[in-house]
Amino acid sequence: MIAIGCDHGGLGLKNEILKHLTEKGVEVKDFGVDSRDSCDYPDIAKPVCEAIKSGECESGILVCGTGIGMSIAANKIKGIRAAHVTDTFSARMAREHNNAHIICLGERITGGALALDIVDSFYCAKFLGGNHARRIEKIAELEK
């Protein structure tokens, strides 16, 4: 199960990604929001991160206007690695090297077609382990 969430600035792109994944048969849990009314992105980042930490969801996608606010908020949650991505190479690396739990996208930055390619690049990639695992362990040490 993939968690997805957005603020008012990311609603349109979130809905495109949700449709794309659902049509591919991927199970997605939508944590909102569902309107363009102004809201605060940390309020959506938090439950998405908690669903990943609890094991309910294996990973997540957060969308706001730029992707920046969502990534800053998600990375404040202990144990969560969120990557702000605007290209397919970074999306693949976020998984292969950083084993990111979440990718963050910006509706005002990245067009729909590219965003869907970014999502596919992230989900087609696999964590490579090895030296990268050691570096991730060191990130966890930084949280202590």
Taking CB under 6 A as the rule, which mask of x and - marks residues 22-51 in contact with ligand RB5?
-------------------x----------
Between 5 and 69, CB nearer to ligand RB5: 69
**Residues annotated as part of the active site:** 64, 97
Residue type at position 67: G
**Distance between CA 50 and CA 26 in Å, rounded?**
20
Q: Which is nearer to ligand RB5, 7 or 16 (CB)?
A: 7
* Alpha carbon distance 9, 61 (integer Å): 14
5 touches ligand RB5 (CB under 6 A): no
Judged by CB under 6 A, does residue 65 bind ligand RB5?
A: yes
List the one residue out of 118, 71, 65 whose CA is nearest residue 90.
118
Cis preceding linkage at 33, omega within 30: yes
Cβ within 8 Å of residue 22, ≥6 positions away: 28
Residue 66 interacts with ligand RB5 (CB under 6 A): yes or no: yes
The footprint of ligand RB5 on this chain (CB under 6 A) covers a number of residues equal to 8
For ligand RB5, the binding residues (CB under 6 A) are 7, 9, 41, 64-66, 68-69
